[in-house]
């Protein structure tokens, strides 16, 4: 759908701006599904890389560190940039980085090339998540918990399916078969163009129709806000810390 037609639809339909836009939420969930499916493939192929290149566990750990640094630790910085400088088509651009990283990983023959490949894949994820989360919130129509749940279900589903696809495709056909997942990356990039068009039209509408804020947070001190944010960061950090450890352990143990 072209930007002009989307803009006209928004102007003629208040539910596209103030109501919950379920079509966009579903697309966000599908995009998250494809993104996280691709991301989950990397830890799943560790045994294949270890056997082929005779890597040590320390080298595998460094691959994980580089991947997590670019896909997770970098997100607050890409998110801050996305808040200050919204880029509607950043979603598709991020997936193009993921696509590039997959192709490099599929044909990498040196350790440094593998590190570059996983860092590029991770960077694609760090670009995707902040903007996709923001689009999800804009499409929530106030139902933020529901919107975030739909978004997370997509990501969790992709994380669950990725290792299975790696076992069915990469294990029997080898490292080069990773390139087959480029099809999923290209599909995701095309889907995200639709999200980008809606996001751009939404931004234009918000500029022309600024909403009045109710000031619900005026009575909350900055100390309380930062304290709550620190607790959330600690909880999420601890969750992914033990999740990553368990995932890496089971990959080699099983």
Quickly list DSSP for 12-35. H-GGGTTS--HHHHHHHHHHHHHH
> Is residue 80 classed exposed, middle or buried when 0-12, 13-18 and 19+ CB atoms within 10 A define those classes?
exposed
Return all residues near 102 (Cβ < 8 A) that are at least 6 apart. 38, 117, 121, 178, 179, 181, 182, 185
Give the 3-state secondary structure of residue 90.
helix
Give the model's pLDDT for residue 7. Answer: 47
The pTM of the full predicted model, rounded to 2 decimals, is 0.79
CA distance 13 to 45: 47
Q: What angle do CA 10, 36, 107 make, to 5 degrees?
A: 120
Q: Are the CB atoms for 194 and 95 separated by under 8 Å? A: no
Give the model's pLDDT for residue 3. Answer: 47
CA distance 132 to 120: 18
Average pLDDT in the 98-115 region?
93
Q: Are the CB atoms for 200 and 3 separated by under 8 Å? A: yes
Residue 210 pLDDT class (50, 70, 90 cuts): low
CATH fold of the domain at 3-211:
Growth Hormone; Chain: A; (1.20.1250)
Q: Select from 57, 170, 185 the least CA-distant residue to 120.
A: 185
Average pLDDT in the 24-46 region?
91
């Amino acid at each position: 759908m072209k930007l002009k037609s989307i803009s006209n639809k928004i102007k003629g339909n208040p539910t596209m701006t103030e109501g919950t836009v379920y079509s966009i939420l579903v697309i966000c969930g599908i995009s998250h599904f494809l993104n996280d499916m691709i991301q989950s493939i990397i830890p799943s192929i560790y045994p294949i890389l270890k056997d082929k290149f005779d890597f040590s566990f320390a080298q595998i750990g460094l691959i994980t560190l580089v991947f997590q640094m670019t896909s997770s630790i970098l997100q607050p910085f890409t998110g801050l940039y996305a808040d200050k400088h919204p880029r509607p088509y950043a979603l598709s651009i991020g997936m193009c980085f993921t696509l590039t990283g997959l192709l490099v990983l599929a044909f990498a023959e040196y350790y440094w090339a593998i590190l570059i490949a996983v860092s590029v894949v991770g960077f694609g994820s760090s670009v995707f998540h902040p903007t996709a989360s923001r689009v999800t919130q804009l499409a929530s129509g106030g139902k933020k918990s529901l919107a975030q749940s739909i978004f997370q279900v997509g990501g969790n589903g992709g994380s669950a399916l990725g290792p299975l696809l790696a076992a069915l495709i990469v294990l029997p056909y080898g490292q080069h078969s990773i390139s087959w997942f480029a099809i999923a990356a290209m599909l995701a990039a095309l889907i995200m163009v639709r999200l980008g068009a809606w996001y751009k039209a939404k931004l234009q509408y918000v500029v022309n129709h600024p909403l009045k804020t109710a000031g619900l947070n005026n009575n909350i001190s900055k100390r309380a806000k930062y304290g709550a944010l620190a607790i959330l960061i600690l909880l999420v950090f601890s969750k992914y810390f033990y999740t990553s450890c368990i995932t890496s352990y089971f990959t080699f143990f099983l």
